[in-house]
């Protein structure tokens, strides 16, 4: 009986440790609450932004890498109008698409920020990962701001740096 109880406990603990977690944090329910039906809003300006992200960096040598947590920040810089993000797609170092974060356009209210977190354990992007964002905004408001904040802490050491998106279309 004791052996059975111990085996059951070990199996239970090992199955809890093997629980699959989405490699990148985002609340799917939150995206669905933000869905926007744009229809044929011709008055909106369209744009595309590139953002570099680093889920790993090299240190000491080509072979040694450190994993990083990346926070991708999508910001509406307008204090008066809602903007729309139609696409947020994550790519690896070789340019292969890893995942799309929503299927329909989402909205960001004035001065609102939405975030995507790439967990430190998710190294699928590698040392040269990136995002492409497609967006629509009303005429005569500032463009959205896309930023990446990468960080890691080990022992008493910490590393943090930022990247900013570049409009490519």
User: Within a domain: residue 3?
Assistant: no
User: Within a domain: residue 111?
Assistant: yes
List Cα–Cα distances, 23 to 119, 120, 152, in angstroms.
7, 9, 17
For residue 141, what is the domain's CATH number? 2.60.290.11
User: Within a domain: residue 22?
Assistant: no
The structure's pTM equals 0.79
Query: What is d(CA 74, CA 40) in angstroms, rounded to the nearest whole number?
Result: 24
Q: How many domains does the chain have?
A: 1
User: Within a domain: residue 32?
Assistant: no
Domain that holds residue 95: 47-167
Which letter, b or e, does each residue of 81-113 get, where b requires 16 or more Cβ atoms within 10 Å of its Cβ?
Answer: eebbbbbbebbbeeeeebbebbeebbbbeeeee
Give per-residue pLDDT as tens, 43-55. 899 999 999 999 8
Residue 22 burial by Cβ neighbours in a 10 Å radius (0-12, 13-18, 19+):
exposed
Query: What is d(CA 54, CA 109) in angstroms, rounded to the nearest whole number?
Result: 28
User: Within a domain: residue 41?
Assistant: no
Task: Tell me what pLDDT residue 59 has.
Answer: 76
Give per-residue pLDDT as tens, 10-63. 444 444 444 444 555 555 556 677 787 777 666 899 999 999 999 888 777 777
């Amino acid at each position: 009986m004791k052996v059975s109880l111990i085996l059951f406990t070990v199996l239970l603990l090992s199955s809890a440790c093997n629980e699959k977690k989405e490699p990148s944090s985002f609340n799917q329910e939150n995206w669905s609450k933000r869905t926007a039906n744009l229809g044929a809003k011709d008055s909106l300006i369209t744009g595309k932004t590139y953002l570099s992200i680093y889920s790993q960096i090299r240190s000491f040598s080509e072979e040694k890498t450190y994993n990083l947590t990346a926070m991708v920040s999508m910001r509406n810089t307008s204090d008066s109008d809602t903007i729309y993000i139609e696409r947020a797609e994550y790519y690896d170092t070789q340019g292969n698409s890893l995942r799309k974060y929503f299927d329909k356009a989402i909205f960001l209210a004035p001065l609102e920020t939405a975030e995507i977190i790439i967990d430190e354990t998710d190294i699928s992007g590698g040392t040269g990962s990136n995002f492409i964002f497609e967006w629509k905004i009303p005429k005569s408001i500032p463009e959205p701001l896309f930023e990446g904040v990468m960080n890691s802490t080990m022992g008493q050491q910490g590393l943090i740096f930022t990247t900013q998106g570049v409009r490519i279309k």
